[in-house]
A and B are shown apart, each in its own frame.
Chain A
Amino acid sequence: MERALILRGALAGAVGGLLAFVFARIFAEPQISAAINYESGRDAAQDALDKAAGQAVPAMGPDIFSRTVQANVGIGVGMVFFGVAMGLLFAVTYTICLGRVGGVRARTLALLVAGGGLLSMYVVPFLKYPANPPAIGHEDTIRSRSVLYLTMTLAAVLLLIGAVLLGRWLQARLGTWNAALAAGAAYVVAVGIVMALLPSFGELAANVHTFGRHATETPLPLKDAQGRIVYPGFPADTLATFRIYSLLAQVILWGAIGLVFAPMAERVLTPPSAPEPARRDTAPASLR
């Protein structure tokens, strides 16, 4: 049974990843192109400034994969495999939760676990360290940024597990509704504390040293020696649109995982010895 559930989780994840890829190909790629165009223009302006100041201009290395490959096959492979990974984690969580979370239907549990995955694997980390298009971020802070992002994600996942356990424990004395509210509030507070403790990307020592104190690494306007702006800061609309699309892609991914997995799980978990022939006669399917 666990084998059936996990293979179906991987399948649901692949479907979710495929849908998220289609969405990304249509909506994210134009924003990624805009960000890369910004970067090219900014680099050209920087080179002109450096040349005027008599500094050597660094030569760019050749691309390993063309933009066409990255924007079509590359993002497709990345999204689908990420979907499979999330589908597997989803199925693992679902299988462990089965029978341990009270009187929840197999189908409902699928949506609850998918919601928890969306929240802890993406939304909570996103609130602290939102997704950035290419052309944002400094090469020398990539390690710190990755460690911080993974720390935030791990904290979001572990705290959510803790909140679920807390809710289960409180249920006996507070009832399901109040226990869920209390556990949810505890999760918000705990996540808020972690967010307050972790630094923003702009506060990393390397960034403060080079650029001064800013909240993020989003490129500021480029100025010449006289302090005149010769190239604008990163376009705010490109950034905001990219982030909203990134969030929507995750909603599509996790929504698909939950909705594709739910009926499959119910079929797996319904024992063949006890079919439900009377279902249509006793109550409409929507009430079950």
Chain B
Amino acid sequence: MSSIPEELSYTKEHEWIAGLEDGITVTVGITAYAAESLGDVVFVQLPEAGATVEAGDAVGEVESTKSVSDIYAPVSGEVVEVNQVVVDDPSLVNSDPYGDGWLFRVRVQDTPEDLLSAEEYATVTTADS
């Protein structure tokens, strides 16, 4: 079973959000569960630094051998940094989804109310499988 770190927040679309409680800049990635479901990730397209994103918008995509999935912005705000390392080596999404495989950082303007705790996200992955 893939790991679901306690300290992170999650979306139903399998993004994780780190650093939400400080309310300034958060880091976003996709969960180990999502990475495992996708298979070997071969391409990651991320929003550009400086772009304004709305929570729920498709802002990028992850492509694996067999499929392609949208990446959704989990919060609204300004993209302040993207992880060029993962763009160059998309396999990091599989090997280290919560670490070097992070995707982008957003300076938060608005946080939706339906973000999930680790415990709540665990029920989403159980329902899926």
State yes or no: do A and B come from one complex. no
Binding site for B on A (CB under 8 A): none
Binding site for A on B (CB under 8 A): none
